[in-house]
């Protein structure tokens, strides 16, 4: 089985805990129209906490911070304080910003740390256990976002609801119960003290109350001491003791040195829309713009939604963008990513010069572009718009489902396995089947390349869409397809989000089709064009989107593929 297939399969099993419709003990709205404010996140309790903050006068950033902490409690497979992420925001006055709170490699990390003595990648070392963890960025990210943009100005108020949720406990959904049960053996294997994620005497059931008192204590430290409550003091001590116990690399200095970074968002253009997205260390913003530019001159709406012409064209654009990703994109503080060249409209349109509407291109015939001068499945996304029109898109992750499965002893939170997003060895695929090169090699302090694509779209200077999703490499193609659904196929948020998705990432050379989606006719037409088809045994992504309607109301959509919940007022 190829790495990608394995990754996809594992992500189906672990990243989105279940693929069936859960009879969750919550009323979960997937599609809501609201007048003033809206939120879509992976869990109804997190959406509720974020919405309440806005009702109390907080802005979209305040709501985002509260939602991030809430997800760390109620959605432990992906929500986190032990991971990292990206925030893209657009203020009501039109100014934009981007916050990089991606994890970084510990100082003791080195290029060949996952290779054996013969130079081969040691299977699983960057995925499970202590060595897989990068230095977490989420807490510093939230503090930086608060300092720069909070309207409420009350840090404790943003965290208190999550403290209560952790200490009083939350009612498990069917999906979460299944996800925890499926990871039970790994939790036991990788932790000396059995973590609370493992139910004593039996398995979790939907409706069980799940309490996390250690996590509540950590959140109290963060409430009382902001970033110092995590990167210093007893929480930092717990992280480093955990590292020593399990042979991990993160030290006190690594924690003290971590800083989230404000970056300039990438701003591109598509059919009169402005596309605001995340720069490196995410590949998302660059790749999204490449995809949109590549298809822009083609009459997609004439072709029709999910017509063979449209799907084939978009697959071929995806193939080309992922070739560039593998070669050119990494942490730009360590590698000269040719951002302007990769974002160049002419370059991306030229990349389609060898596109053949009647035949799939062979990935072997697609190389990454060459530039003379270099300038210098589990994740979760939430989209928020407040009553003043401030918009925030956050994608945050501990990488695969429940991250490294290592729970910090005495502190009750999971550490990420984000180190797997580096290229452990040139050309060797990671969990998501992505290959990389020098641009994304491991180096001390470097941030691993991401596919996360929190994005905001405007039209004629007005806010139009806030969008993002989890899904590893499929994040880029899911955000791309959602934007195309809105702009070209004129869908509302709900249709744009719930529609079937497909994915191509250059290598391996195959199209992944979401389960139960594309009929036999479409599949055989794609095959006859020369595409290898892989019918995925699960869903692709979990998109959360808010579309601003022409009358100013918010069309909020949460993905049907999970417990994702849309709310507004
Ligand atoms: O940053 C990235 O691209 C990955 N760590 C995201 C992982 C992910 O989306 C897993 N979820 N399904």
* Mutate which of 85, 451, 454 for ligand 1 pocket (most atoms within 8 A of beta carbon): 451
CB contact at 8 A, 344 and 294: no
Q: Please work out whether the CB of residue 470 comes within 6 Å of at least one atom of ligand 1.
A: yes
Nearest CA, atom 5, ligand 1: 399
Q: Whole-angstrom Cα distance, residue 291 to residue 349?
A: 9
Of 437, 425, 406, 45, which is closest to residue 249 (Cα–Cα)?
A: 406
Burial of 427 (0-12, 13-18, 19+ CB in 10 A): exposed
Nearest CA, atom 12, ligand 1: 377
Give distance in angstroms: CA of 477 to centre of ligand 1.
13
Q: With cut-offs at 50, 70 and 90, classify the pLDDT of residue 18.
A: very low
Residues in a beta bridge with 98: 88, 263
DSSP tag of 13: I
Q: Whole-angstrom Cα distance, residue 505 to residue 522?
A: 20
Residue 115 backbone phi and psi in degrees, to 5: -100, 145
Q: Whole-angstrom Cα distance, residue 343 to residue 269?
A: 10
Structure tokens at 121: 């990648």
Nearest CA, atom 6, ligand 1: 472
Of 477, 499, 506, 478, which is closest to residue 360 (Cα–Cα)?
A: 506
CB contact at 8 A, 346 and 35: no
Taking the CB of residue 213, how many other CB atoms lie within 10 A of it? Answer: 12
Question: Residue 373: is its pLDDT beyond 80?
Answer: no
Helix/strand/coil percent split, the chain, to 5: 35, 15, 45
Sequence-separated (6 or more) residues with CB below 8 Å from residue 115: 121, 122, 424, 425
From the alpha carbon of 421, which atom of ligand 1 is closest? 5
Q: Please work out whether the CB of residue 471 comes within 6 Å of at least one atom of ligand 1.
A: yes
Question: What are the tens digits of pLDDT across the range 202-222?
Answer: 999 999 999 999 999 999 999
Q: Please work out whether the CB of residue 475 comes within 6 Å of at least one atom of ligand 1.
A: yes
Question: Residue 4: is its pLDDT beyond 50?
Answer: no
pLDDT at 303: 98
Give distance in angstroms: CA of 460 to centre of ligand 1.
32
Q: Please work out whether the CB of residue 450 comes within 6 Å of at least one atom of ligand 1.
A: yes
Q: Is 379 designated active site? A: yes
pLDDT at 80: 98
* Mutate which of 4, 474, 475, 505 for ligand 1 pocket (most atoms within 8 A of beta carbon): 475
Structure tokens at 221: 């430290």
Give distance in angstroms: CA of 169 to centre of ligand 1.
27
Q: Whole-angstrom Cα distance, residue 343 to residue 288?
A: 9
Angle at 238 between CA 232 and CA 244, to 5 degrees: 115
Q: Whole-angstrom Cα distance, residue 92 to residue 69?
A: 24
Compute the mean pLDDT over every residue in the chain, rounded to the nearest whole number: 94
From the alpha carbon of 448, which atom of ligand 1 is closest? 1
Question: What are the tens digits of pLDDT across the range 417-437?
Answer: 999 999 999 999 999 999 999
Of 377, 398, 393, 381, which is closest to residue 76 (Cα–Cα)?
A: 398
Q: Whole-angstrom Cα distance, residue 371 to residue 355?
A: 21
Burial of 412 (0-12, 13-18, 19+ CB in 10 A): buried
Mean pLDDT in residue range 546-555: 98
Q: Please work out whether the CB of residue 472 comes within 6 Å of at least one atom of ligand 1.
A: yes
pLDDT at 374: 43
Q: Please work out whether the CB of residue 327 comes within 6 Å of at least one atom of ligand 1.
A: no
Question: Catalytic residue among 173, 379, 396, 477, which?
Answer: 379
Angle at 527 between CA 523 and CA 528, to 5 degrees: 120
Q: Whole-angstrom Cα distance, residue 108 to residue 248?
A: 10
Q: With cut-offs at 50, 70 and 90, classify the pLDDT of residue 287.
A: very high
Question: What are the tens digits of pLDDT across the range 297-323?
Answer: 999 999 999 999 999 999 999 999 999
Give distance in angstroms: CA of 551 to centre of ligand 1.
35
* Mutate which of 17, 127, 380, 452 for ligand 1 pocket (most atoms within 8 A of beta carbon): 452
For 339-397, the DSSP string reads HHHHH-HHHHHHTTTT-BTTBPPPGGG------SS-----EEEEEEE-TT--EEEEEEE
Give distance in angstroms: CA of 11 to centre of ligand 1.
10
Nearest CA, atom 2, ligand 1: 450
Sheet-wide strand order for 273-277: 31-34, 554-558, 544-548, 462-468, 455-459, 273-277, 266-270
Reduced to 3 states (helix: H, G, I; strand: E, B; else coil), residue 433 is coil
Q: Whole-angstrom Cα distance, residue 41 to residue 102?
A: 20
CB contact at 8 A, 165 and 73: yes
Burial of 460 (0-12, 13-18, 19+ CB in 10 A): exposed
Question: What are the tens digits of pLDDT across the range 475-513?
Answer: 999 999 999 999 999 999 999 999 999 999 999 999 999
Give distance in angstroms: CA of 83 to centre of ligand 1.
11
* Mutate which of 136, 381, 399 for ligand 1 pocket (most atoms within 8 A of beta carbon): 399
Question: Residue 17: is its pLDDT beyond 80?
Answer: no
Give distance in angstroms: CA of 471 to centre of ligand 1.
5
Ramachandran region, residue 412 (left: φ > 0; alpha: ψ -120 to 50; beta: rest): left
Question: Residue 168: is its pLDDT beyond 70?
Answer: yes
Residue 263 backbone phi and psi in degrees, to 5: -125, 165
């Amino acid at each position: 089985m190829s790495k990608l297939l394995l990754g996809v399969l594992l992500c189906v099993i672990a990243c989105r805990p279940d693929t069936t419709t859960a009879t969750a003990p919550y009323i979960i709205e997937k599609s809501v129209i609201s007048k003033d404010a809206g939120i879509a996140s992976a869990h109804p309790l997190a959406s509720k906490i974020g919405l309440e903050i806005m009702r109390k006068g907080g802005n979209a950033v305040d709501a985002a911070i509260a939602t991030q902490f809430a997800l760390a409690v109620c959605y432990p497979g992906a929500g986190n304080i032990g991971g990292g992420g990206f925030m893209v925001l657009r203020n009501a006055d039109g100014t934009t910003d981007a916050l990089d709170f991606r994890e970084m490699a510990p100082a003791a990390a080195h290029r060949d740390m996952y290779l054996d003595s013969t130079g081969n990648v040691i299977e699983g070392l960057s995925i499970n256990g202590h060595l897989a963890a990068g230095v977490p960025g989420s807490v510093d990210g939230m503090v930086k976002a608060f300092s720069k943009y909070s309207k409420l100005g009350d840090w404790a108020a943003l965290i208190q609801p999550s403290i209560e949720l952790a200490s009083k406990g939350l009612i498990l959904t069917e999906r979460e119960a299944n996800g925890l049960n499926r990871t039970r053996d790994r939790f036991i294997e990788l932790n000396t003290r059995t973590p609370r994620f493992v139910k004593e005497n039996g398995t979790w059931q939907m409706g069980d109350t799940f309490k996390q008192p250690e996590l509540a204590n950590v959140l109290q430290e963060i409430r009382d001491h902001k970033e110092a409550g995590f990167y210093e003091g007893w929480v930092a001590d717990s992280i480093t003791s955990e590292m020593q116990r399990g042979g991990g690399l993160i030290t006190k200095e690594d924690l003290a040195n971590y800083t989230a970074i404000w970056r300039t968002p990438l701003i591109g253009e598509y059919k009169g829309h402005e596309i605001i997205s995340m720069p490196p260390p995410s590949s998302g913003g660059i790749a999204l713009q490449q995809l949109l530019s590549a298809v822009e001159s083609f009459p997609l709406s004439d072709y029709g939604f999910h017509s063979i012409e449209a799907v084939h064209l978009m697959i071929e654009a995806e193939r080309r963008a992922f070739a560039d990703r593998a070669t050119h994109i990494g942490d730009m503080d360590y590698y000269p990513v040719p951002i302007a060249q990769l974002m160049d409209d002419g370059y991306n349109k030229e990349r389609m010069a060898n596109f053949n509407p009647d035949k799939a291109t062979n990935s072997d015939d697609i190389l990454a572009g060459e530039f003379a001068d270099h300038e210098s499945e589990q994740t979760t996304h939430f989209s928020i718009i407040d009553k003043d029109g401030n918009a925030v898109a956050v994608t945050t992750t501990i990488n695969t489902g429940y991250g490294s499965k290592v729970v910090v002893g005495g502190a009750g939170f999971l550490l990420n396995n984000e180190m797997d997003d580096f290229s452990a060895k040139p050309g060797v695929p990671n969990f998501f089947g992505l290959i990389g090169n020098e641009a994304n090699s491991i180096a001390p302090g470097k941030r691993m390349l991401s596919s996360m694509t929190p994005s905001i779209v405007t039209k004629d200077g007005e806010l139009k869409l806030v969008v993002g999703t989890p899904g590893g490499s499929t994040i880029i193609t899911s955000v791309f397809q959602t934007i195309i659904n809105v702009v070209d196929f004129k869908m509302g948020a709900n249709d744009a989000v719930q529609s079937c998705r497909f994915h191509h990432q250059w290598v391996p050379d195959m199209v992944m089709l979401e389960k139960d989606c594309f009929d036999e006719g479409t599949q055989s037409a794609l095959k006859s064009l020369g595409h290898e088809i892989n019918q995925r045994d699960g869903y692709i992504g979990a998109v959360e989107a808010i579309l601003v309607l022409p009358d100013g109301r918010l069309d909020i959509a949460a993905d049907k593929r999970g417990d994702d919940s849309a709310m507004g007022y």
